[in-house]
Amino acid sequence: MSGLAIKNVTKRFGDFTAVDAINLSVPHGTFVCLLGPSGCGKTTLLRMIAGLEEPTSGAIMLDDQDITSLPTHKRNLGMVFQSLALFPHLSVGDNIAYALRIRGASREEQTRRVDELLKMVHLPGFADRPVAKLSGGQRQRVAIARALALSPKLFLLDEPLSALDAKLREAMQVELRQLQQQLGITTIVVTHDQREAMTMADLVVVMGNGKIRQAAAPIEIYRKPADAFVADFIGSTNLLDVTADSAGRATILGHAVPGLSLPAGTSKASVSIRPEDVHIAAPGGGAISGTVTFVRDLGGTIETFVEAGGSTIVAVATPRERPEVVAGQTVGVVLPPESCVVLAA
């Protein structure tokens, strides 16, 4: 298979298992986001792919070739570090040309390629500037250009956008995705920002405690989270207990939810429902009744916090469907069964 395959890779640091028997295959040209909270092993996994750490066990294959113990400098990959790691003693052009210089490329070829790369990252004519004189976003682009200088097989980025301010970060996410599609390069990005992952990735790999919790397309991860950890980490969600009543029907907070069924043989599970799927209605009927505790009006969205049976349910509405509620009011909460994802307890 062409592409990257990670086979049963484990990494231990002393007693601590950073990466625990991970299997993952990444087809050629895929944009992968390794997503997870800090300390989940995502950076360690990336560093093993780069050859900067050696796996305790397992194998890493690139285009059917075992690269597990191949030294970094022979792997033909480009990497952008969290600190960017631009060489402070070299100019922008010399930073980008470094890999070419090591390969013994001629002066003319270096200049030509540097100009080409600078154009690609929208920094034409920056070759002679010292690195210290660049802004955060410009450094970012230089780091990307440097990593892509040799048209590597693998493009690895370790939290590349974390140092930028929110606006620039969002713009760079789009740009990075467009660049990746244009080049068709297999790309792996480590991030803890789920918005970043949703924006850029073909495949989102959610990690927790050194294990893969779910690997799927972004929208599938969002719509069908595999477990409570994933549901909670990707976007915000309402996690509620669901139990079977005497008649075997699934009930949430004492209300039977028709159309929802528990996994066979269990009487208790939890359910995840996204705030935008929760509707606020008049009390009574089939709705769960609760008390509004707080309304957060953010202009673009309105979040309503409802206290019901000891749980807080958050509902998000757009201004168009603005629920006319105030704190203290008793309301009905409707949980459409098709939007509820039952998670194994």
Q: How many residues bind another protein (CB under 8 A)?
A: 29
Q: Least separation, in Å, of the C-beta of 74 and another protein? A: 8
Pick the binder of another protein from 146, 169, 177, 213 (CB under 8 A).
Answer: 146
Q: Is residue 72 close enough to count as binding another protein by CB under 8 A?
A: yes
Strands 57-62, 65-66: pairing kind: antiparallel
**321: which DSSP letter?**
G
Classify residue 291 as exposed, middle or buried by CB count within 10 Å of its CB (0-12, 13-18, 19+): middle
Measured from the CB atom, is 74 or 320 closer to another protein?
A: 74
Site string for another protein, 249-288 (x = CB under 8 A): ----------------------------------------
Rounded to the nearest whole angstrom, what is the least distance from the CB of residue 148 to another protein in the complex?
11
* Least distance in angstroms from the C-beta of 255 to another protein: 54
Per CB under 8 A, the segment of 13-21, 145-153, 165-173, 314-322 that binds another protein is 145-153
- DSSP symbols for 13-50: ETTEEEEEEEEEEEETT-EEEEE-STTSSHHHHHHHHH
Residue 333 to residues 90, 290, 305: CA-CA distances in angstroms? 61, 7, 11
Residue given tokens 């992968």 in the structure block: 32
Choose between 21 and 150: whose C-beta lies nearer to another protein: 150
Cβ–Cβ < 8 Å for 97, 114 = yes
Separation CA 34–CA 36 (nearest Å) = 7
Residue carrying the six token digits 């397992």: 58
| CB of 19 vs another protein, minimal distance in Å | 18
Residue whose pair of structure tokens reads 């974390």 in the numeric block? 162
Segment lying near another protein (by CB under 8 A), choices 2-10, 45-53, 133-141, 195-203: 45-53
Among 9, 22, 24, 147, binds another protein (CB under 8 A): 147
126 vs 155, beta carbon nearer another protein: 155
- 106 belongs to the binding site for another protein (CB under 8 A): no
Pick the closer one to another protein by CB: 32 or 156: 156
CB-nearer residue toward another protein: 82 or 311:
82
- Residue labelled with tokens 């003319």: 108
> Rounded to whole angstroms, how far apart are CA atoms 277 and 323?
14
**Binding of another protein at residue 88 (CB under 8 A)?**
yes
Q: Which of 150, 295, 342, 345 binds another protein (CB under 8 A)?
A: 150
Is residue 52 a contact residue for another protein (CB under 8 A)? Answer: yes
Is 114 a residue that touches another protein (CB under 8 A)?
Answer: no
Listed ranges 18-26, 149-157, 172-180, 292-300: which one lies at the site for another protein (CB under 8 A): 149-157
Decide: is 141 part of the binding site for another protein (CB under 8 A): no
* Helices marked H in the chain: 42-50, 92-102, 107-120, 136-147, 166-183, 194-200, 218-223, 228-233
The edge-to-edge listing of strands for the beta sheet with 250-252 is: 255-256, 250-252, 238-244, 268-273, 341-343
The three-point CA angle 159-59-100 to 5° equals 55
Q: Is 133 in the site for another protein (CB under 8 A)?
A: no
* Proportion of the chain in helix, strand, coil states, percent, rounded to 5: 30, 35, 35
Residues that bind another protein (CB under 8 A): 50-52, 71-79, 81-83, 85-89, 98-99, 102-103, 146-147, 149-150, 156
